[in-house]
Amino acid sequence: MKRIILLLAITLSLQSCFSPERDCEKFKTGTFEFQSYLNGELVTSKFIRNDSIEIDMFQGKTDTSSIRWVNNCEYIITNLHPKNMAEKKPLSIKILTTKGDTYTFEYGQVGEPEKQRGTVTKIK
């Protein structure tokens, strides 16, 4: 029994040494940049976020979404002016790790199991 407790204590202490940095608070507001591939081409979008609104700028178009923070590292984003059914569905975003001025996140439509990942850089 002592061996099991000792092994459990060692395992837990090693896991705490490797936990990813998650300083999500500093990413709630600011100006950000996101790069992704669209039809095989690397494209960049920029967005400005305050605590409850996000303004996206992509290929000369601007879009506004509301933000509802679930906790410090997760939020739901809903397009305020959807142009089709796909844009009406809110997205769930979870910040997984942070490092310097970047964060890695996981996102997908609310209620859907399929998730994708991306990285955002804070530029202001």
| Domain ranges, residue 96 | 21-122
In a domain, 14, yes or no: no
State residue 15's pLDDT score. 55
pLDDT tens readout for residues 49-81: 998 999 999 888 999 999 999 999 999 999 999
In a domain, 16, yes or no: no
Structure tokens at 88: 């009406």
DSSP state of 70: E
What total number of domains does the chain contain? 1
Assign residue 32 the CATH number of its domain: 2.40.128.490
Predicted model pTM = 0.77
In a domain, 3, yes or no: no
pLDDT tens readout for residues 13-26: 555 555 567 789 99
Q: What is the rounded CA–CA span in Å between residue 105 and residue 62? A: 22
Residue type, 76: I
